[in-house]
Amino acid sequence: MQNKTHNKSLKTRLKLLAGTAAMSACAFTVQAADTIKVGVLHSLSGTMAISETTLKDTVLMLIEEQNKKGGVLGQQLEPVVVDPASNWPMYAEKARELIEKDKVAVTFGGWTSASRKAMLPVFEQNNSILFYPVQYEGQESSKNIFYTGAAPNQQAIPAVDYLINDLGVKRFVLAGTDYVYPRTTNKILAAYLKSKGVADADVMVNYTPFGHSDWQSIVSNIKKFGSEGKKTAVVSTINGDANVPFYKELAAQGVSSEDIPVIAFSVGEEELSGMDTSALVGHLAAWNYFMSVDSEANDTFIDTWHKYIKDDSRVTNDPMEATYIGFNLWVKAVEKAGTTDTAKVSDAIIGLSVPNLTGGNATMLANHHITKPVVIGEIQDNGQFDVVWETEKEVKGDAWSDFLPTSEHLVSDWTAPIMCGSYNTQTKVCLGGEAK
């Protein structure tokens, strides 16, 4: 009798424990559901860490600021940070982990086009959203990617126009890191230069691997190319930490901005903060934002950044602004849709506008690109840029280049009735990237 009573008591206690465990599990599930998870996918190690670590910090700052306002849809945002370590296949692996394991509602990440190309099929297969914040070569439009960096017509083409029209450049060195962004961008630029009457003999193309450090012979060749009687400039798509020895070698060989100016698409305030800029003064960069831009929105952003990072010497840069724009567009779209559902957010975001940091507005277009001003700046000895040229208004991002025969008739439009990433306006046929 005593054993039966004991057994009954044990069963009761086990039931109670099981019930308590179930309640705890339920409480944990409710607590987890109270947050919206946000993926942060930037390299914190390897050759791209020099550029991407700051973007990780930017997303974390934006999440913290949004949570102070009450989060989104009454829920706090929870960052999930991963490090793809500058390894392109690892970006795809980490993206899949964020989507399938961590159940993120959105991801902010990537820098190189190689990383974006690796991630693209993962986001499409899982129908998840990626905000990509860096200038790129165009020739792409995915229903799952929102491109908040510059397309070629918002950076590369205006930069070449400035060199030709304002500096009188006749010869061009197209120097880039050996991967898809520089190669495709330079293909577009070569076609554009040809349309402007620049001879093939006046265009020199050179590619180097990521992390390249021995620039002596390359800079020597650039000097020789620029000494043949025509004004010469370098159009640089060199990416990552290879920029440091490149600019050092230019200075070592006495290549000044007056002799052969360099206009860079991947060198901003963050990269300059790790260099001795005294010999770089006068060289150029083309972006859509500089820290030196005078606007109330920019002043507020810089102040918020310095307070968050607890270091008044930390700079801001263009991909940070693109991240800021993308984050605010996503928040606005989620609030409009009333949900984080991918399809509903993607529909809601088209046509939405948020302030940029230059004093204007960024609008999300039907091709998943945004409107951006174009600004060209000269490097100063303090590591900042003095704006020497800018567009009068924002330029609409073009997914497909008008200067390549394979894409001159293509448009991207993710709204009905087209719903296609590469629609041929002549044949009225969608060539791919169609909505599924």
For the domain that residue 239 is a member of, what is the CATH number? 3.40.50.2300
pLDDT of 11 strictly over 80: no
Do the domain assignments include residue 163? yes
Nearest C-alpha neighbor of 356 from the set 334, 339, 371, 366: 371
What is the band of 278 on the pLDDT scale with cuts at 50, 70, 90? confident
Position 433 scores a pLDDT of: 56
What's the pLDDT at 374? 98
CA 91 vs. chain centroid, Å, equals 14
For 376-409, the pLDDT digits (tens) are 999 999 999 999 999 999 999 999 999 999 999 9
pLDDT of residue 430: 95
Reported confidence tier of residue 209, pLDDT bands at 50, 70, 90: very high
Residue 198 belongs to a domain: yes
Residue 229 lies in a domain: yes
> What is the secondary structure of 352-399 as a DSSP string?
-EEE-SSSSEEEB-TTSBBEE--EEEEE-TTS-EEEEEE-SS-EE--S
- Cβ contact 284:377 at 8 Å: yes
Model pLDDT for residues 65-117, shown as the tens digit of each residue: 999 999 999 999 999 999 999 999 999 999 999 999 999 999 999 999 999 99
Give me the DSSP letters along 86-116: T-HHHHHHHHHIIIIIS--SEEEE--SHHHH
Q: Give residue 167's domain range.
A: 154-287
Average pLDDT score over the chain: 91
Total count of domains within the chain: 1
Residue 239 lies in a domain: yes
208's enclosing H/E stretch is: strand 203-208
- The answer to whether residue 143 scores a pLDDT higher than 80 is yes
Q: Give a yes or no: residue 184 inside a domain.
A: yes
| 352 domain-assigned | no
Q: What tokens does 206 get?
A: 């050179």
Nearest to 372 by CA among 290, 267, 282: 290
Task: Answer whether residue 123 is part of any domain.
Answer: no
Which of 59, 60, 55 is closest to 43 using CA atoms?
55
- Quick one: pLDDT at residue 7? 41
In a domain, 364, yes or no: no
Measured CA distances, 163 to 85, 236, 293 (Å): 36, 13, 21
Q: Tell me what pLDDT residue 23 has.
A: 37
